[in-house]
């Protein structure tokens, strides 16, 4: 007897972000340290990116928001929001980042899909960043989950 586990979040996220990853995307910041962030970390590493977690609190192995400088944004040009900040009904909120340091080499991915475009995404887009919400991830992870539960033994 053995247990076999699957993580459909990893599958949905990886499949949805992979087409946006360019050769100049080497490092990613993961905003948040909850359960979803662990799946995102695994997915990004499987695509060959180095990762760093960002947290409001000082914890081993994390960077605090107040230490995210324009230089950090240039180095870590993939940023994934795994927090609820900016989700409906709090659409006027966004993670505290130096958005002015973002440019056409920046990729912002927000796991939130309501609203379609969060303030995080809007502020990055204003500076030329490529942005993507989490709706495709949601759909792809649902399809993967369906397949896990309905596969032939």
CATH architecture, domain 8-150: 3-Layer(aba) Sandwich (3.40)
Instruction: Evaluate if residue 152 carries a pLDDT over 80.
Output: no
Burial 40-58 (b: 16+ CB within 10 A, else e): bbbbbeeeebebbbbbbee
| Interval 5-22: pLDDT, tens | 889 999 999 999 999 999
| Interval 104-124: pLDDT, tens | 999 999 999 999 999 999 999
């Amino acid at each position: 007897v053995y247990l076999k586990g699957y993580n459909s979040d990893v599958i949905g996220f990886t499949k949805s972000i992979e087409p946006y990853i360019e050769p100049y995307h080497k490092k990613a910041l993961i905003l948040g340290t909850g359960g979803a962030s662990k799946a995102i970390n695994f997915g990004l590493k499987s695509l060959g990116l180095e990762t760093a977690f960002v947290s409001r609190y000082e914890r081993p192995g994390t960077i605090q928001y107040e230490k995210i400088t324009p230089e950090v944004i240039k180095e870590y040009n993939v940023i994934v929001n795994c927090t609820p900040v900016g989700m409906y009904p709090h659409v006027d909120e966004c993670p505290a980042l130096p958005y002015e340091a973002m440019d056409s080499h920046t990729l912002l991915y927000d796991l939130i899909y309501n609203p379609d475009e969060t303030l995080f995404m809007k502020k990055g887009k204003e500076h030329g960043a490529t942005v993507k919400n989490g709706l495709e991830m949601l759909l792809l992870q649902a399809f993967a989950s369906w397949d896990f539960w309905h596969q032939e033994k």
